[in-house]
Amino acid sequence: MLGIEDPWVVLAYVLCIISALLCLVWGAIKWNVDDTVDEPEDEIRHWAEEEDRVEEEL
Amino acid sequence: MSIWMIIIVVAYLCVIAYLGFRGFKSTKSATDYMLGGRKVHPYVMAMSYGATFISTSAIVGFGGAAGVFGMGLLWLTFMNIFIGIFIAFWVFGGRTRRMGLRLDAHTFPELLGRRFQSRFIQGAAAVIIFMFIPLYASAVLTGAVKYISSQLSIDYNVALLLFSVIIAIYVIAGGIKGVMYTDALQGTIMLFGMLALLILTYIKMGGVSAAHQSLTDMASMVPAKLQAGGHQGWTSMPKFGSPLSWTLVSTIIMGVGIGVLAQPQLAVRYMTVKSGKELNRAIPIGGIFIMMMTGVAFIVGSLSNVHFQQTLGKVSIVAAKGDVEAIIPMYLQSAMPEWFSILFMLTLISAAMSTLSSQFHVMGTSLGRDLVEESMHKKKGGSGMLATRLGVLGGILISVYLSYIMELKFGKTGTAIVARGTAIFFGLCACAFLPMYVGALWNRGITKVGAIAGMLSGALSSMFWIFFVEQKASTALLLCNKLFGTRSLGISMVDGKEVFAASGPIVWAYVDPLIVGLPIAIIVTVSVSLFTKKMANEHLDICMGTK
């Protein structure tokens, strides 16, 4: 197949293309899907500052 | 050097300077300098990740290796796309980004340090990075400068100085924004360069199947020495259990394929985007980019055998007089049209610059932010950028010095050590950081002591394997020979002949440090965590976002 005799090498060649296609399809399907379940930014900043302050004091 | 070449190189450098300047103008805070304000465009992020990942040696060095090993190397491309992009962005990227934001982490060591509430982890990770990345940077720098000095007919040391100064300016001034904007441009150039190389090669050899068939038909021409090592032709995998198969499977595929997950300069990029949406959009860009980089390099490297057989009656490695790194440049010179050499020169310069700029940046953040500011409590207010900028400068000076001195002072030994730089850094990072990183993202049971023990055991065991067992590295590093009178502890001399220690099909001297160091680090991390003090639930809730 494809001028290559060893099936393991053919598999590698085909898997490269399939995995790149998988990336393409994934991107198309999930284009607008967000994972954001993050806390509001102010809260995070406040917490991080608090943490820094406590560490400084220690 | 033609006038066109000069014009194009100058124009290229002007655009790079402009992008570096844009990065500088929009950098106002430490978060801007280290994470691009956490608002980087997905195209820029994906291209920057890919271009950082792929250096000149990935194209010239590994492409040349494909000229010797053949198309079996395409397994590495598959690993690069599937693990290095898909799994990395989808599985690791989202969690890293969210945890980085929750902990206000600016660097990879800072993320690990804050997750395990340990300044030691942050400091030690920074030391490991800062000690070993100059060797990796020096490997990339030396390769690029050699290529530039030969293409533009200028002295090696002059090219080294000019090239380093240009990168230094835009990394020090523009921070990660300067680095990522230029990376995106360089990545785009690389994409076009490699696409053109693939198309021209297949056209020249009569199409995809015809080209592969010609290579398959050359199996009988494999040099005797390679045949003895297990080589069965350039479109076949090496014989199972043979030394060549171990080198191929263990070093190249496992070492570089899995090693990518715990690379600090790559992992930090997940934290530069605004949301998970950007990571999803980056996946197709990164996947196609990597396929066009290593995939094309491996296919063209292998097919160079057909070209040299048709023109010189020799296989590539014989035509290149045994110099693996010379195969791709020789092929380009003799098989490609002249206009292509200019495009490809820009491709290779871009590949080197994009990798180097990120290496220098991560050196700076490790030294400035992680070690001096955070780990050694030297925070002095202000934006926190000065220490990092000085760190970048220090890292550049060390790398340039290594590139200058290694070959000058140690000759071939120096070159051999530098050539191992990439593999050593990838393996070391995977062993030291991967178990702790996975634990940090997914497991509430990994303790601070467990993480520290795992990091140290992974780093030490892989260092032991690098210095004393894996024959390519241990031969280059000379320490084993000095202490034990053999170039590897896996090789003994019997009647003046080298005998390789083996257990069944495993030939120890060919086994990659990662294969040994990673399981040790995993076992130590998990088992120590079972018997040491658990982390507070409140902290874990904040880290994992389960509050």
pLDDT tens column, B27-52:
888 888 888 888 888 888 889 888 98
Asked if the Cβ–Cβ distance from A27 to B281 is below 8 Å, we say yes
Distance from CA of B324 to the nearest CA of A (A): 21
Q: CA dist B179 to A38, B31, B269, B277, B509, Å?
A: 27, 14, 11, 22, 38
pLDDT classification of B413: cutoffs 50, 70, 90: low
Instruction: Determine the structural domain holding residue A16 and report its residue range.
Output: 1-30
Phi and psi (nearest 5°) for A26?
Answer: -55, -45
The per-residue pLDDT of chain B, averaged, comes to: 88
* Chain A residues lying within 8 Å of B285, measured CB to CB: 27
Q: Is A14 on the interface with B (CB under 8 A)?
A: no
Nearest by Cα to B359 from B351, A13, B204 = B351
pLDDT classification of B419: cutoffs 50, 70, 90: low
| Residues in Cβ contact with B491 at an 8 Å cutoff, skipping those fewer than 6 apart | B471, B498, B499, B500, B501, B509
Distance CA(B115)–CA(B384), nearest Å, equals 21
3-class secondary structure per residue, B452-470: HHHHHHHHHHHHHHHHHCC
Does B88 or B143 have the greater pLDDT score?
B88
- For residue B520, the surrounding DSSP H or E stretch is helix B513-530
Question: Which tokens sit at B109?
Answer: 């060591």
Does B536 or A35 have the greater pLDDT score?
B536
For residue B384, pLDDT beyond 60: yes
Distance CA(B166)–CA(B426), nearest Å, equals 26
pLDDT computed for residue B210 by the predictor: 95
Q: Is B83 on the interface with A (CB under 8 A)?
A: no
Phi and psi (nearest 5°) for B503?
Answer: -120, 105
Asked if the Cβ–Cβ distance from B213 to A6 is below 8 Å, we say no
- CB-closest option in A23, A32, A44 to B86: A23
* Chain B residues lying within 8 Å of A13, measured CB to CB: 71, 74
SS3 B408: helix
SS3 B498: strand
Distance from CA of B103 to the nearest CA of A (A): 7
pLDDT classification of B198: cutoffs 50, 70, 90: very high
pLDDT classification of B414: cutoffs 50, 70, 90: low
* Chain B residues lying within 8 Å of A17, measured CB to CB: 291
For residue A48, pLDDT beyond 80: no
Instruction: Count the neighbouring beta carbons within 10 Å of the beta carbon of residue B547.
Output: 11
In chain B, where the domains are located:
3-470+511-544
Q: Is B478 on the interface with A (CB under 8 A)?
A: no
Q: Is A34 on the interface with B (CB under 8 A)?
A: yes
pLDDT classification of B491: cutoffs 50, 70, 90: confident
Distance CA(A27)–CA(B443), nearest Å, equals 28
Tokens 């180097």 locate to B356
Q: Are B175 and B183 in contact (CB under 8 A)?
A: no
Structural domains counted in chain A: 1
Question: Which tokens sit at A52?
Answer: 């820094």
Protein fold of B3-470+511-544: Sodium/glucose cotransporter (1.20.1730)
Task: Give me the numbers of helices (H) and strands (E) for chain A, helices first please.
Answer: 2, 0
